[in-house]
Amino acid sequence: MKSLYSLKRASILILAVILSISLTACSDSGTKGQAGSGDDAANEPEKLTHLSYWVQMVSQVSATLKSYNEIEAYKELEQVTGVKVDFQHPPEGQQAKEQFNLMLTSDKLPDVIEYSWIGYPGGPEKAIKDGKIIRLNELIDEHAPNLKKVLEEHPEWKKEIMTDEGSIYAFPFIRSHDRLKVFLGPTIRQDWLDKLNLEMPTTIEEWYTVLKAFKANDMNGNGEADEIPLYLTKGDVDTSTAFLGAFGINAGFYQDGGVVKYGPTDPTFKEFLALMNKWYQAGLLDRDFATTDAKLLEAKITGGQIGSAVLYTGSGIGKYNTLMKEKDPNFHLVAAPYPVMNKGDKQIWGYKDFAYTGIGAAITTSNKNPIETVKWLDYAYSEAGTLLFNFGKEGASYTMEDGKPVFKPEVLNNPSGLPVIQSMSQHNRATFSGPFMLDIRFDEQYTTSEDQLASKEIWAEPTLDLKLPRTTPNSQESSRYASIMNDINTFKDEMYLKFIMGQEPLDNFDKYVKTMESMGLQEAIEIQQHALERYNKR
């Protein structure tokens, strides 16, 4: 009896152990790798030590460094977090977009892709549904306390960074102050105006008079008729609506009383094209505006050829006034007002960015450590992370004075003579977009010259009442919208150049409009109308 009792007791113990193991296994399989799975170390994701990160390198960094790994902020971030980043930089310009599209055809993506996701075919929600990037809402809520706090304090920013379906798809670049949203517009050589005793132009007709004077006189004094009165690319027209804004429209979709319209098919767009064709034929525009890249533009500006152009506050006014200080002490590039049609007209169109630019760092579906990656990206939105991304490493590029970060003299006045934008870019990311918040304290030290400060005042004049918010098509509309607009934009861009250069007579403008209508323009307008109405309800 005793031996039988012992056998039964042993059997019960064995069954209890088996049951315990089975329950533990079930629990692990249901919670491992999930957010909020408890404190059990077995349920924690593998420690993140390495990240692959795809991002296009900007020119102010590539001028002196080979990779973002060499930026002081990322060196310090590695020390703080223990995470080493393998930055993958595509070629600049159009090749980057081509490489991005090619990359997305692969089953193996980098862990993080920093990109303007609103430009993804079909929109960012489509990128999620295509299985390329992951939805971040729950991960941010549970593992990104810094960004979560920022969005709770600024619901208007949260409205901008999500899709109509409510998805947050990337860690965003946010301009945290209204002043940071204005930094691009028309510029002009004030020294050329002074030389000719001309006033700053404010109307289209005044600009025509000034540009003709720049063309007729040997402004750079080299005895050659090589002056380019105005450098204005199609991209400048698309982005800043420079000169086109005087006609009351923009180069894309806009709203008028809550009704979505499309500028490039408006009858006044034909008037704008006629003006640009007239200026092109008169030699007032750069003959090579369709093919000139950033390096050629710089060569033309520093070579004393360009009288006016659409440029940035820092990499335009600040950069060129610094570069030309010794070469040409008279060189003086300043901001010009966005032109209007008639004296006294209100400036409607100009350039003012959204708080969220559309650029952000998305976590791909190939990432094996999404939780730890979220934690790593969230650091940038902390107080320490904001200082790091805006100012670099304390002691190396800035010091704290009276509780405020102050750039060191050698950063603001580089011993090697680098423009401040290149000098700063060796230490931080605040001279260009990225997954962090731009700090007004950075801008207060970056745009310090009178000309730069004045540019922000001058370019902030337009009302922008007709500008659309950052709307996005939903998943049902996205593919169709992308298909329509890809065809329309390709055709529009081609015809724009032909109209300006005189390769296509403007008598064919109505035919051009009908062609775009046949491509589905009205459907695209309706999609944007629905998107605007949904955005207003977010």
The three-state secondary structure class of 334 is: strand
Q: Residues 166, 360: contact at Cβ < 8 Å?
A: no
pLDDT tens track for 306-359: 999 999 998 899 999 999 999 999 999 999 999 999 999 999 999 998 999 889
Query: Who contacts 428 (Cβ-Cβ below 8 Å, separation ≥6)?
Result: 71, 72, 73, 388, 389, 390, 391, 392, 397, 442
Q: How far is CA 159 from each of CA 92, 351, 467, rounded to the nearest angstrom?
A: 31, 21, 16
pLDDT bin (cut points 50, 70, 90) of residue 240 is: confident
The pTM is what? 0.72
Q: What is the mean pLDDT of residues 386-399?
A: 98
Least confident of 20-34, 178-192, 240-254, 450-464: 20-34
Q: Pick the closest to residue 334 from 211, 202, 453 (CA basis).
A: 453
In this structure, which amino acid lies at residue 27? Answer: S
Q: Residues 390, 441: contact at Cβ < 8 Å?
A: yes
Q: Which pLDDT score is estimated for 475? A: 72
Is the pLDDT score of 4 beyond 80?
Answer: no
Q: What is the mean pLDDT of residues 29-48?
A: 44
Which pair of structure tokens corresponds to residue 478?
């996205």
Letter string b/e over residues 376-403, b meaning 16 or more CB atoms within 10 A of that residue's CB: bbbbbbbeebbbbbbbbbeebbbeeeee
Is the pLDDT score of 42 beyond 70?
Answer: no
| Cα four-point dihedral sign 508, 514, 518, 519 | positive
| Helix or strand run (H / E) with residue 335 | strand 333-335
Q: Which pLDDT score is estimated for 6? A: 41
Give, rounded to a whole angstrom, the gap between the first and last alpha carbons of the chain: 75
Is the pLDDT score of 40 beyond 50?
Answer: no
Is the pLDDT score of 482 beyond 60?
Answer: yes
* Ordered DSSP codes for 242-294: TTGGGGT--SSEEEETTEEEEGGGSHHHHHHHHHHHHHHHTT-B-TTTTT--H
Is the pLDDT score of 84 beyond 70?
Answer: yes
Strand order in the sheet with 308-312: 308-312, 184-189, 333-335
Q: Pick the closest to residue 260 from 516, 529, 470 (CA basis).
A: 529
Letter string b/e over residues 144-172, b meaning 16 or more CB atoms within 10 A of that residue's CB: bebbbebbeeeeebbbbbbbbeebbbbbb
Q: Residues 244, 319: contact at Cβ < 8 Å?
A: no
Q: How far is CA 180 from each of CA 49, 234, 328, 338, rounded to the nearest angstrom?
A: 34, 24, 30, 18
